[in-house]
Amino acid sequence: MGRLTLAAVRAGDPEAFRSAALAWAALAAALDAASEHMATGRARVGAAGQGTALAVAADRVGTEVRAVGGAVGPARRIAQALLRHADALAALQRHLDAVLATARSTGLTVDLVSGTVTAAGPAGVAPWRATVDAVRDELAEILAQARRLDAATAVAVGCSPPDQRASEPDQWAAGDASRLDRATVQRQADRAPADVAAWWRSLSPHQREWALRDHPDLIGHLDGIPAVDRDRANRTHLDHLVAQAAAPAGLRAVRDQLAATPEAYLLLIDGSGDGRVAVALGAPDHARHTALFVPGVGTDLLDIHGELARTATLRRVADQTTVAHGDVSVVYWLGYDPPDSLLDGWREGPSRDGGAALTRFADGLRASHVGGPSHVTALGHSYGSTVVAEGARAGGLRVDDIVVVGSPGLHSDHARELNLDPRHVWVGRSATDEIRFVPGPIHGREPADPGFGANRFVTDTSGHSGYWRPDSDSLLNQAYIVTGQYDRVTLVHGERPA
Taking the alpha carbons of 285, 308, 152, 206 in that order, is the dihedral positive or negative? positive
Domain ranges of the chain: 6-158, 259-493
pLDDT greater than 90 at residue 56: no
104 vs 321, more confident: 321
376-435 pLDDT, tens digit each? 999 999 999 999 999 999 989 999 999 999 999 999 999 999 999 999 999 999 999 988
167 burial class (0-12, 13-18, 19+ CB within 10 angstroms)? exposed
Contact of 302 with 274, CB cutoff 8 Å: no
Whole-angstrom distance, CA of residue 41 vs CA of residue 55: 13
Q: What is the pTM of this model?
A: 0.74
Q: Up-side HSE of residue 285: CA atoms within 13 Å toward CB?
A: 30
The CATH T-level fold of domain 259-493 is: Rossmann fold (3.40.50)
pLDDT greater than 90 at residue 345: no
Could you report how far apart the first and last alpha carbons of the chain are, in Å?
Answer: 51
Whole-angstrom distance, CA of residue 32 vs CA of residue 41: 14
For the residues 492-496, what does the mean pLDDT come to? Answer: 97
For the residues 31-54, what does the mean pLDDT come to? Answer: 69
Per-residue DSSP letters for 374-409? PEEEEEEETHHHHHHHHHHHTT----SEEEEES-S-
For the residues 184-195, what does the mean pLDDT come to? Answer: 96
CA angle 352, 274, 294 (to 5 degrees): 45
Contact of 273 with 319, CB cutoff 8 Å: no
In 10 A of CB 77, how many CB atoms? 22
- What pLDDT score does 390 carry? 96
Nearest Cα residue to 86 out of 29, 137, 23:
23
Report which secondary-structure segment, H or E, holds 159. none
pLDDT greater than 70 at residue 315: yes
For domain 6-158, which architecture applies?
A: Up-down Bundle (1.20)
pLDDT greater than 70 at residue 173: no
Do the two domains 6-158 and 259-493 of this chain adopt the same fold?
Answer: no
- 162: confidence class by pLDDT, cuts 50, 70, 90: very low
Q: What is the mean pLDDT of the chain?
A: 87
Per-residue DSSP letters for 5-17? -HHHHHH--HHHH
249-267 pLDDT, tens digit each? 999 999 999 988 988 999 9
Q: Up-side HSE of residue 202: CA atoms within 13 Å toward CB?
A: 9
Whole-angstrom distance, CA of residue 436 vs CA of residue 443: 12
291 vs 327, more confident: 291
